[in-house]
């Protein structure tokens, strides 16, 4: 290896090492919504701490498909403008509501799933869905959610909520869903 190659490798390694610990700092949008997430056990919607596995399963979605479906209806879908992953005020309100549910159910894993309408190429829509899911994930983490319990995936245009081919249908498909895992 010549001196120039060695120098470039050392420079690159130094850059990676120095920037690895750096993180972009976010601001908390609504301080009143962010509080410490309880680490002492799951809390049911009525505020009562679960005392048995059966009680926990009844609201965590871990016992059956019926329970998971019941919980899924608790979490709302965030919608986006055309060709955008910017969070609207309505989307932020939806995410705040979902975060409040997540605070009350701190051990539940959530998949944040990005979707698009059918317009655009497959690769473009997958990237747009991913950006939507990531923007939602960043916001819910800023609110105080545990990142270890969250994951993202993009389905692009693969799973439409409405198969129509008009603006009303497309608006329903530009979304991010919170799914219990």
Distance CA 181, CA 75 (A): 13
CB atoms within 10 A of CB 20: 8
Write the pLDDT tens digit of every residue in 7-61.
555 555 544 444 444 433 333 333 333 333 333 333 333 333 333 344 434 433 4
pTM: 0.62
Percent of the chain with pLDDT over 90: 59
CATH 3.30.1330.60 correct for 77-180: yes
Give 52-102 as a DSSP string: SHHHHHHHHS-S-HHHHHHHHHHSPPEE--TT--PPPHHHHHHHHHHHHHH
Q: Residues 105-119: pLDDT tens digits? A: 999 999 999 999 999
């Amino acid at each position: 290896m010549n001196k120039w190659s060695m120098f470039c490798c050392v420079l690159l390694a130094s850059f990676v090492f120095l920037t690895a610990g750096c993180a972009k700092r976010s601001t908390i949008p609504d301080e009143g919504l962010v509080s410490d997430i309880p680490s002492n056990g799951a809390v049911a919607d009525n505020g009562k701490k679960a005392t048995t596995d059966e009680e926990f399963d009844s609201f965590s979605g871990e016992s059956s498909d019926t329970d998971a479906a019941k919980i899924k209806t608790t979490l709302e879908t965030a919608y986006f403008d055309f060709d955008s992953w910017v969070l609207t005020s309505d989307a932020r309100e939806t995410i705040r509501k979902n975060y409040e549910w997540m605070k009350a159910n701190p051990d539940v894993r959530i998949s944040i799933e990005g979707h698009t309408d059918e317009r655009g190429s497959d690769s473009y829509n997958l990237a747009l869905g991913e950006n939507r899911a990531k923007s939602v994930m960043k916001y819910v983490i800023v609110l105080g959610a545990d990142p270890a319990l969250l994951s993202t995936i993009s389905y692009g245009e693969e799973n439409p909520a409405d198969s129509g081919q008009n603006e009303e249908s497309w608006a329903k498909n530009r979304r991010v869903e919170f799914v219990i895992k």
